[in-house]
């Protein structure tokens, strides 16, 4: 037994002295395992020493370069601390802006809480008396007015509730959501002017809110304040992103119609030109018709013709004729599609209201190709432009 114990100890400790032949075979076995790990007969330790003498291989150099780049991109502890300080200041600033500073003294906060509890229990009279006492001692605190507004709203007295809520909003003007709610309450009582005032207060603290601008402009239109409404719509157009092309075109179309009804043709043309310039791929047939109508009303026939030909598929081409054609044969040729017209002369189409004069040698002929599906309104405007540009001549 003692011999077995010694043999086990020698097997567990190969570096120790051995008294048997079994212990002598341990070191060569471990040495052979190390040698088997190498492929070229050289131990890995030799490879490491050689690499350290000659320089690291390309893979290790690439890894070191990547590590260097990462270390360069990582901010230092000072940078992180400075960034945290800035973020903390900005967070505190935002919290102060969002959470209005209460002007209710600490001595009255307990009474204010008691008033809210009484209101929640349905004890309205006691809650009203407590709020009145708080208002007497702290008239600039908005909390009691807001509680009174909720009490009267619960009692069904909406007019009195709105009045107390307006006082609370004036004492706490930075609450935009409250102003919007007051605007909606004012509209329920058909008080459009007061609703406009509330939206204006909300826009003072949130000037880029498209919804508030839209609602206020719509209310201006109801009151007949056309200029103020259009100014609001223009602000909306400036706030829309390039991804809001459909909304931009729809609003520009409505604004152009409103300007046209108000006899402000120049402003209507400006709006449509801006829409055509920013969103050419969203131009519809209705947009072409509106733009052509505006240009014709402003006697800008060349621009109207350009809009029609650019966006409706109508093609005008000029051709020179070397010989004078017979009147009858030319009529027969030009009745067929595409329609051909003499520049500076009357139309040679099959339309009953146009006729063509005898062409002169080497005159320029205009070929007009009108695809199917073009609305008759646009075709008529095309003829009007051609007449005023002396391409067609109407019958007397």
- In the predicted model, is pLDDT for residue 363 greater than 70? no
Q: What is the pLDDT of residue 44?
A: 63
User: Which three-class secondary structure state does DSSP give residue 57?
Assistant: coil
Cα–Cα distances (Å) from 290 to 118, 164, 178, 273, 299, in that order, read: 62, 48, 41, 11, 14
Q: How many CB atoms lie within 10 A of CB 131?
A: 24
pLDDT in tens, 34-67: 444 555 555 666 556 455 545 545 455 555 555 5
Which residue is it, tokens 């991804």?
Answer: 243
Q: What is the pLDDT of residue 334?
A: 42
Cα–Cα distances (Å) from 60 to 51, 52, 63, 64, 65, in that order, read: 11, 11, 5, 6, 9
pLDDT in tens, 152-204: 999 989 889 999 999 999 998 888 999 999 999 999 989 999 999 999 999 99
pLDDT in tens, 275-326: 999 998 999 999 999 999 999 999 999 999 999 999 888 888 776 554 445 4
| Residue 274 vs residue 366, higher pLDDT | 274
Tally of CA atoms within 13 A in the half-sphere of 233 that contains its CB: 27
pTM value is 0.59
Strands 315-320 and 339-342, by their bridges, are unpaired
């Amino acid at each position: 037994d003692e011999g077995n114990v010694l043999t086990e100890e020698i097997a567990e400790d190969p570096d120790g002295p051995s008294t048997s032949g079994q212990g002598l075979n341990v070191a060569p076995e471990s040495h052979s395992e190390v040698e088997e790990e190498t492929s070229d007969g050289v131990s890995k330790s030799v490879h490491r020493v050689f690499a350290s003498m000659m320089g690291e291989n390309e893979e290790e150099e690439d890894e070191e370069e990547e590590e260097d780049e990462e270390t360069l991109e990582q901010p230092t502890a000072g940078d992180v601390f400075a960034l945290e300080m800035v973020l903390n200041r900005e967070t505190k600033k935002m919290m102060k802006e969002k959470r209005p500073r209460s002007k209710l003294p600490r001595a009255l906060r307990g009474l204010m809480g008691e008033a809210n509890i009484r209101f929640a229990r349905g004890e309205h009279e006691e809650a009203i008396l407590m709020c009145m006492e708080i208002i007497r001692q702290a008239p600039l605190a908005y909390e009691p007015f807001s509680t009174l507004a909720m009490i009267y709203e619960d009692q069904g007295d909406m007019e009195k509730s709105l009045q107390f809520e307006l006082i609370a909003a004036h004492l706490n003007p930075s609450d935009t959501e409250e102003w919007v709610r007051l605007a909606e309450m004012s509209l329920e009582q058909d008080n459009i002017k007061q609703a406009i005032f509330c939206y204006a207060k909300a826009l003072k603290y949130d000037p880029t809110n498209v919804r508030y601008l839209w609602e206020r402009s719509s209310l201006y239109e109801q009151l007949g304040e056309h200029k103020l409404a259009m100014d609001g719509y223009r602000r909306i157009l400036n706030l829309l992103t390039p991804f809001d092309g459909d909304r931009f075109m729809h609003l520009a179309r409505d604004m152009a119609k409103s300007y046209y009804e108000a006899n402000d043709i120049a402003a209507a043309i400006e709006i449509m030109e801006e829409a055509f310039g920013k969103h050419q791929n969203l131009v519809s047939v209705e947009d072409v018709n509106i733009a052509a109508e505006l240009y014709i009303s402003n006697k800008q026939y060349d621009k109207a013709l350009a809009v029609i030909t650019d966006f409706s598929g109508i093609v005008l081409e000029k051709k020179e004729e070397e010989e004078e054609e017979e009147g009858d044969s030319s009529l027969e040729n030009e009745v067929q599609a595409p329609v051909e017209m003499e520049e500076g002369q009357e139309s040679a189409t099959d339309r009953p209201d146009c006729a063509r004069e005898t062409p002169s040698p080497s005159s320029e002929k205009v070929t007009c190709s009108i695809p199917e599906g073009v609305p008759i309104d646009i075709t008529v405007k095309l003829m009007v432009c051609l007449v005023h540009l002396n391409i067609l001549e109407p019958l007397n």
